[in-house]
Amino acid sequence: MAPPNRRPETVTRAQGGALVHLPRPAPEPGPLPDPRRGDVDEWGRSESMRRLARQLYDPMYRYWFRAEWDGIDKIPREGGALIVANHAAAIPSDAPVIHHGIETELGRPVYGLADYLFRSIPVVGTLWSRVGGVPAHPENAYRLLREQQQLVAVFPEGSKGPGKVYNERYQLRRFGRGGFVEIAMRAGVPIIPIAVLGAEESMPIVYKSAALARLTGLPYVPITANHLLFGPLLGTILYFPAKFRLKVLDPITFDVAPDQERYAKSRIMEEAEAIRVKLQATIYEMLQQRRSVWFG
């Protein structure tokens, strides 16, 4: 019997027949305790909350917007990818349609990058995080794409997309300075463009108040056709039943090595503009083929 307070030793026979005592290897350390409660991940996303959101949103997705996808199989089922799409509606309706469609059809979670404004609003900010919203910062995008190999959705038009009035519908705004292209290059992931029809008509803006926007600090304060028809309260939450069509374009990859300190700014701007032009041309083709705003 081994002496008290001593680790038992193993015995082996060395060359020449002598017995040699060898210490028994220490056990592998177990995982550190996770201080988080429930299923909330480091970004604030909760799968139980997402599951509830999918259950509540599914009737709107299937029976109100009647979303139809073309080419959803082009979105990879594993590995990181940056999803890029056009953006519209006073309160954007395209983001939840894209997230819901990918999560229900492919079974992959989607993290959405958006302005920090959403995170700063009480209650709304917490709910936004629980359903997959992440502040749009390059390091957040890099970690999700490169280190965690997740799907990330971004709308390069920013607030200028949903801030368009109705007579500017389906005219894509500039894609900023192409930061989304640089992130994809640095993370070594493809960009998946998605052209969306239907969002522009779901909550069209007929007027924007510049004075109220300055007063509130919001990018825009709209008066929508929904407000005029349903009133200020219901008009803020009730969309028109526009038919949604989403077309996934071929993945775009870049022949550059990831994790470089810098990338050519001219190349970044050229790639971003090429993606915008390709999306714009696809949207025009889809509009020509569409027979009805409400029935597709």
CA–CA separation, 119 vs 44, rounded Å?
11
Q: What is the pLDDT of residues 59-84, one digit of tens each?
A: 999 999 999 999 999 999 999 999 99
pLDDT at 284: 97
pLDDT at 28: 64
Using the predicted structure, report yes or no on whether residue 44 has a pLDDT greater than 80: yes
Q: What is the mean pLDDT of residues 87-105?
A: 96
List 194's β-bridge partners, or say none.
85, 248
Q: What is the pLDDT of residues 49-65, one digit of tens each?
A: 999 999 999 999 999 99
Classify the phi-psi angles of 170: left when phi > 0, otherwise alpha if psi is within -120 to 50, otherwise beta: left
CA–CA separation, 132 vs 152, rounded Å?
10
Cα–Cα distances (Å) from 153 to 30, 94, 102, 256, 289, in that order, read: 35, 11, 11, 22, 26
Contact 191, 275 (CB under 8 A): yes
Q: What is the mean pLDDT of residues 173-188?
A: 95
List 248's β-bridge partners, or say none.
194
Using the predicted structure, report yes or no on whether residue 5 has a pLDDT greater than 60: no
Using the predicted structure, report yes or no on whether residue 38 has a pLDDT greater than 90: no
pLDDT at 22: 54
CA–CA separation, 273 vs 92, rounded Å?
23
| Range from 48-62, 63-77, 213-227, 269-283 carrying the lowest mean pLDDT | 213-227
